[in-house]
């Protein structure tokens, strides 16, 4: 079963802490990669995923991540969040393929709704060809399956 992944890339853990209740309520796996490589490895998995990227600490690194995600997994949605108004940076994030940019004056209160909507869209697009049964309510299956099936 491919569970949805909410990836939060930031330096201080504050954004992830604020999103943890949302992830728990929705039963998403909340991941907090601290390295670019770890983040990309998580995104290589076929799970539906939304990446929330906090920008401002290291713009080069953050834009590099955005550019790599766009290239490697274009269907993964990214939300770029910033604390300080910076129109140039916001435009750059859009250009590098962010699914949405919440940098002031864009209101931060939109963040949960944006994440939920992007994740639901990502889940709805997941097809059986990705390798596993899709996420979400599926057909009832008998309990008591003894061994895992050969991966299909």
Residues 6+ apart with CB under 8 A from 138: none
Binding status of residue 83 toward another protein by CB under 8 A:
no
Crossing angle for the helix pair 36-43 and 59-72, nearest 10 degrees? 20
Binding status of residue 87 toward another protein by CB under 8 A:
yes
Binding status of residue 33 toward another protein by CB under 8 A:
no
Binding status of residue 42 toward another protein by CB under 8 A:
no
Nearer to another protein, 19 or 92 (CB): 92
Binding status of residue 96 toward another protein by CB under 8 A:
yes
Smallest distance from the beta carbon of 114 to another protein, in angstroms?
Answer: 5
Instruction: Identify the residue whose tokens are 């309990």.
Output: 143
Binding status of residue 46 toward another protein by CB under 8 A:
yes
Binding status of residue 146 toward another protein by CB under 8 A:
yes
**CB of 48 closer than 8 Å to CB of 136:** no
Smallest distance from the beta carbon of 16 to another protein, in angstroms?
Answer: 15
Binding status of residue 134 toward another protein by CB under 8 A:
yes
Binding status of residue 39 toward another protein by CB under 8 A:
no
Q: Please pick, from the candidates 4, 9, 54, 69, the single residue that binds another protein as defined by CB under 8 A.
A: 4
Kindly state the tokens that stand for 27.
Answer: 């039963």
Nearer to another protein, 67 or 83 (CB): 67
Smallest distance from the beta carbon of 40 to another protein, in angstroms?
Answer: 8
What spatial distance separates the first Cα and last Cα of the chain, rounded to whole Å? 11
Phi, then psi, of 27 in degrees rounded to 5: 60, 45
Helix (H, G, I), strand (E, B) or coil at 77: strand
Binding status of residue 34 toward another protein by CB under 8 A:
no
Dump the DSSP string for 47-78: S-EEEEEE-SS-HHHHHHHHHHHHHH-TTSEE
Instruction: Identify the residue whose tokens are 């994030």.
Output: 93
């Amino acid at each position: 079963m491919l569970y949805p992944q909410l990836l939060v890339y930031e330096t201080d853990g504050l954004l992830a802490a604020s999103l943890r209740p949302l992830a728990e309520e929705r039963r998403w796996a909340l991941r907090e990669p601290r390295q670019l490589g770890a983040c990309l490895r998580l995104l290589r998995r076929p799970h539906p995923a939304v990446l929330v990227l906090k920008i401002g600490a290291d713009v080069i690194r953050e834009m590099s991540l955005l550019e790599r995600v766009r290239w490697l997994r274009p269907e993964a949605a990214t939300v770029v969040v910033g604390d300080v108004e910076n129109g140039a940076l916001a435009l750059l994030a859009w250009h590098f393929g962010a699914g949405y940019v919440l940098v002031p004056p864009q209101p931060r209160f939109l963040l949960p709704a944006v994440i939920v909507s992007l994740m639901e869209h990502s889940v709805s697009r997941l097809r059986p060809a990705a390798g596993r049964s899709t996420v979400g309510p599926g057909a009832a299956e008998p309990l008591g399956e003894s061994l895992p099936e050969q991966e299909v």
